[in-house]
A and B are shown apart, each in its own frame.
Chain A
Amino acid sequence: MPTITRRTYLALSALAPVAAGLLARESRSEDISSRDVIRNRYFPNLVLMTHEGRQVRFYDDLIKDKIVTINFMYTQCEDGRCPVTTANLVRVQKLLGSRVGRDIFMYSFTLAPEHDTPTVLKRYAKAYGVGPGWTFVTGSPRDMEVLRRKLGFVWANPVRDAKRSSHTGNLRYGNEPLQLWSACPAMAKPEWIAESISWVDWPKTTAAKPG
């Protein structure tokens, strides 16, 4: 084999398991559940802090068994989008009523954890009239960055991706146990966001007719 440097060698050796892939087909152990696939891929169980100063695990405490909405924000948003987005989501929270905090949970993750401490986030939430069941979350800068990337608040354009404000416009919504996930613009009409969340709601108890 022709010579190559250590740098390339490392990149190559990371691929060794791929070559064995063809043989592994038969013996592959079935079934890590698709729910676990989603959890492993998107929901790292990071230790985070809420605006109420509570220490939580991302998957165990915030996501598992729940219907959730997820957006990213920061309190000192330069372009003015975060405040209107937060205000819009407050209207969504009102529409969802008492279910928020019961089986629907709203989360806003800060993009500026070095500034947005639990105290700062608490003040922010209070200023906007955020009700119970909607949690603002911070953590170590590294963990918050991991979370942003895992949850796909990422743009292919690296320059765009490096701008905090480019990640504040979208709202993920989903139902963790039912494995239903989609997204909508965080500035969509509150009624539309509430309707969208209804699509990942628990199945209606009224039985559908057989075909």
Chain B
Amino acid sequence: MHLLKHQWSRLARTAWANRQEIIKAGLGRRDLFKMGLLTSAGYLVAKRGLSTRAAYADDDDNVCSSPPTRAFYDLLPTPRDGTMKIQTPTTLTPTPTAAPNTAAGEGRKITHQAFTQFAPQKFYAVTQRAGYVSVSPDLPLQTLWGFAIGTPTENKPIDVPGPVYVAHYGEPILVRNFNQLPAQDKNGGFGLPSVSTHLHNGHTPSESDGNPCDFFERGYFYDQHYPNVLAGVLSDHQAPPGVDPATGGDINEAMSTLWYHDHRVDFTSQNVYKGLAGFYLLFNDHDTSDENTGFHLPSFPAYDIPMMFADKCFDSSGKLFFDLFNLDGILGDKFTVNGKIQPVLHVSPRRYRFRWLDAGPSRFYQFFLTDLTNLSAHNLFWQISSDGNLLPKPIRVESVRLSVAERADVIIDFAPFAGKTLYLENRLKQDDGRGPTDHEIRSAGQGNLVLKIIVDGPTVADHSQDPATITKFYDLPSTAVTPRVKRTFVFSDSGGGWQINERFFACNDIRFTVQENSVEQWTLINDGGEWEHPIHIHFEEFQTLSINGRAPATSPLVQTGRKDVLRLEADASATLFFRFRDFTGKYPMHCHNTIHEDHAMMLRFDIAPIGDTRQSP
């Protein structure tokens, strides 16, 4: 399969020859840019006869070729600058109830299971609707779908990404989520106005999780109850050291960077691409948002900046384009961060925490810090988390790889770069939606420059702790426990859809039942040489016992910590350790390449008092 993947068509060879000729002719970057051949990010425009990717397509419209846009013009929206809004509490009328308030127009069908136990202390309203959004000064305003703070009658503008939730362990909240998206025929070409907002990877009761099958229609609302509790809070199951008897739960399973996004079955890729995603940050007594306390991580929001990466494609008229009929996965040629194409961030010469999130739909990234005036430099920084969980301690890295839905919190010290300009550069080569191409890393300056970072801010005090001196965040919970059941899942393609254990997803198809308060061991196998699948399991994070029979990698491909997305490479396998606790109900496991997810690479499992022992469910 590997060899076949690289057989070239005649057109591909022509494209390659053309590119070699450009190189031989000594055309400079300026020449190429003037001819419209080079994008502002510095890579060749995808055109038949020039790009090998384009050459595979029958005609140009099967390839993303967006209009040119200026790079590094818009500022990166941030909570720091108030350009990325922070969600604010409100009073809800009618008062939320444990049972669905059907009479008032609630679309929820299941009663909250922990509503009185973890009574919400703060209430939020958010409205999903369409609105005009600028992604670049060189493109027309886009009609996107986003989340507006407040109820429909408050009529506030939408935010894309949505507002940031700042949540705290021990403080349960409730979000009233209104669906005011446009009617079906007003979707602008893609997107279904029927939604289920998933909080990825909250320790959330099933009915508030945003299950793909718990979608609700336009005109309705849905109350989502987020207890913000540590895993283990309701469990007497092998209470490990670190369980706080006062508040319950295992502090070693505390989470930090979560995100929310639409999860509507079969339409997730379209709806998220259209804008329905945002951050949810979770703090506690250690990760406090104040650099003077706890772990002394850079203060939010001044020095703690969430960044959502999403690649997009625009049609010749400059409108956001979604390829409706693509099964491999979708790549864009425009790189947005927090909704802007190739923005700029100004920072002071001190330490910052960046929270990186790959929002998909299908692209993998490997980010480096590039100084274009010194391409041979290895600019190191610290990775402090893998997905939602802080690592046991910071790991020094030169790069971070992310697949769809993976997150990495990093700490970068800009003090040595005072007065300089750096770029966040994706050097991972990817030619189509299947996954990165042979994991090839481009040389410095040859990748996608997604963000320009100018270190020209004033010199300010830095009370955050140098990660080099941080010896511990949390301990990894012990995995020396015999699992109640070992299960195996094979991820494969069926020539027309994506499967798990040779079956497709259906909402009412309960593939297996996990026994509440038990330990399970799952082995995930990618039975294909062509596609790489970022597999996400809702509700409980896992610890990776082995990948291809070996211990998981640390830097730069950190897979050692607790995680909720497993990057399952082609022909690879991984064995994972889970503890399932606290809540019951239905949850999915699925590929987070949202194209694969929508075309059936998903399954439903339930958590219940009595589980089964199906080994290949």
B459: interface (CB < 8 Å): no
Given contacts A158-B7, A185-B504, contact A169 B18 (CB under 8 A): no
B86-129 interface code vs A (CB 8 A; 1 in, 0 out)? 00000000000000000011000000000000000000000100
Among the listed A18, A35, A189, which residue makes an inter-chain contact with B189, where contact means beta carbons less than 8 Å apart? A35
Q: Which residues of A contact B31 (CB under 8 A)?
A: 1-2
Is the Cβ of A179 less than 8 Å from the Cβ of B189?
Answer: yes
What separation, in Å, do the CA atoms of A187 and B25 have in the docked complex? 52
A12–chain B nearest beta-carbon distance, Å = 6
Nearest to A202 among chain B residues (CB) is: B184
B307: interface (CB < 8 Å): no
B81: interface (CB < 8 Å): no
What separation, in Å, do the CA atoms of A199 and B266 have in the docked complex? 9
A51: interface (CB < 8 Å): no
What separation, in Å, do the CA atoms of A199 and B49 have in the docked complex? 40
Is the Cβ of B494 less than 8 Å from the Cβ of A185?
Answer: yes
In the complex, number of A-B residue pairs with CB atoms less than 8 Å apart: 226
Q: Which residues of A contact B234 (CB under 8 A)?
A: none
Q: Which residues of B contact A169 (CB under 8 A)?
A: 494-497
B194: interface (CB < 8 Å): yes
Is the Cβ of B25 less than 8 Å from the Cβ of A175?
Answer: no
Q: Which residues of A contact B185 (CB under 8 A)?
A: 177-179
Nearest to B55 among chain A residues (CB) is: A158
Query: What is the interface residue range for chain B against chain A?
Result: 35 or more
Number of interface residues of A (CB under 8 A): 76
Among the listed A8, A19, A21, A25, which residue makes an inter-chain contact with B34, where contact means beta carbons less than 8 Å apart? A19
A54: interface (CB < 8 Å): no
Contacting chain B: which of A108-116, A124-132, A146-154?
A146-154
Interface of A is mostly: mixed
Q: Which residues of B contact A160 (CB under 8 A)?
A: 4, 530
Contacting chain A: which of B60-68, B288-296, B549-557?
B60-68
What 4 A-B pairs are tightest by C-beta distance, nearest first? A169-B496, A208-B219, A152-B325, A185-B497
Q: A153-B325, A158-B7, A185-B496 are in contact. List 20 more A-B contacts (CB 8 A).
A: A18-B45, A19-B34, A22-B70, A28-B318, A37-B315, A42-B325, A146-B58, A152-B323, A177-B185, A179-B187, A179-B190, A183-B598, A183-B599, A184-B266, A184-B497, A185-B494, A185-B497, A196-B266, A209-B219, A211-B220
Q: List 27 interface pairs A-B (beta carbons < 8 Å), by A numbering.
A: A5-B21, A10-B49, A11-B47, A14-B47, A14-B49, A15-B45, A21-B138, A25-B318, A28-B317, A37-B315, A42-B325, A152-B323, A152-B325, A153-B325, A156-B431, A159-B4, A168-B496, A179-B185, A180-B192, A181-B324, A181-B325, A183-B497, A185-B600, A188-B504, A188-B600, A208-B217, A211-B153
